[in-house]
Amino acid sequence: MSDDAAPRRLRADAARNLDALLDAAEVVFGRSGVDAPAKEITDLAGVGVGTLYRHFPQRSDLVKAVFEHEIDACADAGLALSAEHEPAEALTRWIDRLTELLATKRGLAAALHSGDPAFDALPGYVMSRLEPALGALLDAAAADRAIRSDVRPTELLYAVSLLSQPVRDTGAGFNRRMVALLVDGLRA
Amino acid sequence: MSDDAAPRRLRADAARNLDALLDAAEVVFGRSGVDAPAKEITDLAGVGVGTLYRHFPQRSDLVKAVFEHEIDACADAGLALSAEHEPAEALTRWIDRLTELLATKRGLAAALHSGDPAFDALPGYVMSRLEPALGALLDAAAADRAIRSDVRPTELLYAVSLLSQPVRDTGAGFNRRMVALLVDGLRA
Amino acid sequence: MSDDAAPRRLRADAARNLDALLDAAEVVFGRSGVDAPAKEITDLAGVGVGTLYRHFPQRSDLVKAVFEHEIDACADAGLALSAEHEPAEALTRWIDRLTELLATKRGLAAALHSGDPAFDALPGYVMSRLEPALGALLDAAAADRAIRSDVRPTELLYAVSLLSQPVRDTGAGFNRRMVALLVDGLRA
Amino acid sequence: MSDDAAPRRLRADAARNLDALLDAAEVVFGRSGVDAPAKEITDLAGVGVGTLYRHFPQRSDLVKAVFEHEIDACADAGLALSAEHEPAEALTRWIDRLTELLATKRGLAAALHSGDPAFDALPGYVMSRLEPALGALLDAAAADRAIRSDVRPTELLYAVSLLSQPVRDTGAGFNRRMVALLVDGLRA
DNA sequence: GATGAATGAGAATTCATTCAT
DNA sequence: AATGAATGAATTCTCATTCAT
C-alpha cells in the first residue's frame, strides 16, 4: 500500500477523514478489540460509516493500515541492531522491541489470532515484513553458536505474538517476563 | 463433582441428551470456538435449544462441563509424577501433559482468553485446580536448585495456555515445541 | 362447577396437590400478575408442571378456580345486605365489599381486562354470579328513588373492576376513593 | 449534522419511514395493544425492524411519539375551555375531551397501566402535560364551590384513564358514560 | 397420577453492509 | 466523496405445552 502504482492525490477532506479513521481505529482496537462494531470507530472519528467502507472495504485493510507503520519500523530496526550489537544481543533487543510493540498495541496480537477469516490478509503482511528481519537475526546468532539453530523465525514470531496477548488482571509486565523466559530457552 | 450431595439419578433420556450435548459441544468448540452459536451445538446433538439452556443456563457452565474431566485428571497427575520422577523431570512432564490437553482440546485455551464476561467463571475453575498442582511442582524443582525460583505458577499457567492456542497453518507440534522452549528458559 | 354431575372422589395426594396449586396461584397472581409463568406457580406449589396442566388445561380454569370462592361469597352477600339495610345503603355496602375483593385480590381485576383470549371464560363466570346480585340491589334502590335508574349492572360491574386495578405508586386507598366517587355519581 | 442544535431536517426517505412507522404503530397499538411484537408494526409499515430500533430505541419512545400530539392538544385545550365556560362546565368538557382521547386511542390507556418497566417514561410524560391542566380546572371549580375540593388531579387523571380502558363487547359509549358518572360524583 | 425433560415457536436486539440522498 | 438511513440475517433467551418415564 505504501507505493501505489498510481499516486492519485487525495482530496484534502478525504485525507483528513482517513487520518481521523486511523486514529479512531487505533483507539477502539485497543479499547474493544479488533472485532469492535464499525459504528464505534466512525463515531469516534466523526465520520459516516460509508466513509469507512469506502477507504477500507475489508476489515483487515483497516487493521493492516493501523499497524503498518509500527510493523515497518520494527522490521527495519533489525538491521540497525545487527550493526551495533553482538548477534545474540541484537536478537534479544529486537525481540524486546517486538514485544513492546505487540504488548502496547494490544489489538494487534489479538488480530493475528482472531481466526476470523476477515483477517486472513493481516498475518500475511506481518509475516512478509517481520519474518526476514527475524530470520537474519536468528541466522547470525546461530552462526555464532550463541543459540540453538532449530527454531524457525515463523514459529518464534507466532510464539512471541501469542505471549503478548493481554491476560485478565495482568499488565504488560507479565508479557515481557514470559517472552524473556522464552528467549532464555533459545540459548544453548 | 459428578455425584454430589444429593445423587438424584438422571432420567435415561435426560442423560442421553446431556451426553449428546457434551459431545457436540466438544466438537463445535474445536471447530468454531467457544463463541459458536448455541444452535450449532444443539443441531449437532439432535436436540432442541431449550434443552441446552435447561442443562447449562450459562455458557460457561457448558464450557466448564466439557473440560472438567480433563482438567481434573491433569491436576491429579501432578502427585503421581512427583512420586515417580526427579522434581525437574516431574515438572517437565506435567507441563507436557498440560500442553497436550490444551493443544488437543483447542477450544479450552481460547475460552480462557476470550475476555467474554460469560466465561468469567471458567478461569477461576481452571486456576483453582491447576494452580496448586503446578505450584507444588515448581516449589519442589526450585528447592532442588533445578530451576529458577522467581516464576509464579499463575503466570506460567497463563503463559502455557497462551502458547497452546491454535495458530493458522500450524499443528499441535508447534505448540509443544514453543512450550518446551519456555520450559528450557526456566532452568537456571 | 360446585355440583358436578359425577362427584368423582379425588385421590388424597391429588387433592393435596390441587390445594397447593390453588394456594400458590393466588400468591403468584398477586405478585406477578395472571400472566406469570406456569413454572413460577408449580415451583411454589412443589409440583410438576404436568400436574398443573392435568388439573387446569386452560389458564382461565386456574384463574377461575382461584377466585371462585370469593366471587361466590360476594354474590351471596347481596341478599343479606338487602335484608339488613335500606336499599341505597345496601347497594353502597355491597359495592364496598366488591371493591375490597377486587382491590385485595389484585390479579382478579387485571385478569378481567387482560384481553388475553385465554381468559375468555373468566368474565363469563364472574358476570353470571355478580350481575344478578348487583341487578337486584340496583333495582331496589332505583325503585326507592335513591339512585338513578339508567345504569345497567353489567356496566357498573365493569366500571368498578376497572377502578380497582392497581396503579403505580398508589395503594388500595386510591381505588376505594375513586369507587366511592363513582357511587356518589349514582345518586339522583 | 450540518445544522444540528436546531431542528435538523430529516432526509425525505427517513421522514417517510417515520410516518409509516407512526401510522402503523397507532393501528397495531389499537389492535393488539402496546405490547405487540415489533415485527407486527414494521411489517405493516413496510419497513425493516432495524429502522424501528433506529428511530425508537426504547419501546416507550414509540408509544410516546404516537400519542404526543393528542396529549399536547388535550392539555392545551384546558385554557381555551376555561376562557369560554363556567369553571364547572369547563372541567366537565375537558374531562369529556380527555375521555374521548383515551377511549379513541385505545392503546394509550392500556400503556399507562401496563406496569411494564419499558413504559416507565410514558406516565411521566402524560402526567407532566395533563396534570397541570387538570389541576387548574379543578382549582377554579373548587373555588367556585361547584365541586368538592378533596380530589387531587393526579388521582382523577388515573381514574379517568382506568375508566377509559376498552372492555370486551363494549364500545366507547360505555367509557364515556362511566366517566360522566364519576364526574357527577365530584359535585358537592 | 405425577413428574419434569424436551421441544420449538416466538420475541428482542445488534450490526455488517448497501445504497439513496 | 460523504453521509447515515435502511435492511434483515443472525443470535440469544424464554416459556407454554406435550409426552416419555
In whole numbers, what is the pLDDT of chain C averaged over residues? Answer: 88
Q: What is the pLDDT of residue A8?
A: 56
For chain A, domains (ranges, CATH) are 10-57 (1.10.10.60), 59-186 (1.10.357.10)
Residues 110-149 of C with CB under 7 A from strand F: 118
Q: How many CB atoms lie within 10 A of CB C151?
A: 18
**Do B and A make contact, counting contact as 3+ CB pairs within 8 angstroms?**
yes
pLDDT confidence band for A115 (50 / 70 / 90): low
Tell me, what's the pLDDT at B46?
94
**Closest C-alpha among B99, B180, B178, B172 to residue A156:** B178
Percent of chain A with pLDDT over 90: 62
Chain C residues with beta carbon closer than 8 angstroms to that of D174:
155, 158
Q: Judge whether residue B178 has pLDDT over 90.
A: yes
Rounded distance, CA C159 to CA C150, Å? 15
pLDDT tens for C22-51 read 999 999 998 888 889 999 999 999 999 999
- Between CA C156 and CA D182 the distance in angstroms is 11
The band of A10, judged by pLDDT with boundaries at 50, 70 and 90, is low
| Residue among B115, B170, B186 minimizing CB distance to A181 | B186
A21 — pLDDT class (breaks 50, 70, 90): very high
Q: Which chain A residues contact residue B159 at CB under 8 A?
A: 163, 178, 181
Contact assignment for C181 to D186 by CB distance below 8 Å: yes
Residue D115's closest chain C neighbor by CA?
A: C168
**Calpha distance B91→A29 (Å, rounded):** 38
Residue A121, pLDDT > 90, answer no
Residue B33 is nearest to which of A115, A162, A180, comparing CB atoms? A115
Interface test with D, best of C31, C116, C167, C179 (most D CBs within 10 A): C167
pLDDT band at A30 (very low <50, low <70, confident <90, very high): confident
For chain A, the first-to-last Cα distance in angstroms comes to 40
Chain A residues in contact with B180 by the CB 8 A cut-off are 185
Q: Provide the 10 A C-beta neighbour count for residue D114.
A: 18
Sign (positive/negative) of CA torsion D71, D76, D80, D81? Answer: positive
> Between the CA of A118 and the C1' of E5, what is the distance in angstroms?
41
Question: What's the pLDDT score for residue B2?
Answer: 41
HSE value, Cβ hemisphere, 13 Å, CA-based, for A76:
6
Which residue among D163, D167, D180 places its CB closest to the CB of C163? D163
B147: left (phi over 0), alpha (psi -120 to 50) or beta: beta
| Nearest by Cα to D184 from B28, B55, C74, C188 | C188
Contact partners for chain B, using 3 or more CB pairs closer than 8 A, are A
- Chain E bases near protein Cβ (<7 Å): 1-21
Q: Chain D partners of C36 at a C-beta cutoff of 8 Å?
A: none
DSSP code per residue over A53-89? HHH-SSHHHHHHHHHHHHHHHHHHHHHHHHHHS-HHH
> Mutate which of A32, A155, A156, A177 to test chain B, going by most B C-beta atoms within 10 A?
A155
The fraction of chain B above a pLDDT of 70, given in percent, is: 93
CA D112 to chain centre: 9
For the entire predicted model, the pTM comes to: 0.83
> Residue B44 has what pLDDT?
95
- Average pLDDT of chain D, as a whole number: 89
Name every chain A residue with its beta carbon within 8 A of the beta carbon of B174.
155, 158
pLDDT band at residue A156 using 50, 70 and 90 as cut-offs? very high
Give the residue among C54, C16, C58 at the shortest CA–CA distance from C34: C58
- Can you tell me whether residue C147 is helix, strand or coil? strand
Contact B181 A165 (CB under 8 A): no
Residue pair D26/D68 in contact by the 8 Å Cβ criterion: no
Report pLDDT digits (tens) over B61-71.
Answer: 999 899 998 99
- Give the contacts of C153 (CB within 8 A, at least 6 positions apart): C131, C132, C134, C135, C138
Average pLDDT, chain B: 88
Tens of pLDDT, residue by residue over C112-136, are 777 666 677 788 888 999 999 999 9
**Measured CA B12 to C1' E6 distance, in angstroms:** 13
Any idea what DSSP says for residue A119?
G
What's the pLDDT at C188?
64
C-alpha cell at B113: 482468553
pLDDT at B6: 42
Q: Nearest CA to CA, how far is C156 from chain D (Å)?
A: 8
Cβ contact, residue pair B162, A180, below 8 Å:
no
Instruction: Name which of A30, A177, A95 is nearest B158 in CA terms.
Output: A177
Bigger pLDDT: D188 vs A55:
A55
Distance CA D20, CA D51 (A): 11
Whether the CB of B11 is less than 7 Å away from nucleic strand E comes out as yes
Name which of D155, D165, D181 is nearest C113 (Cβ-Cβ).
D165
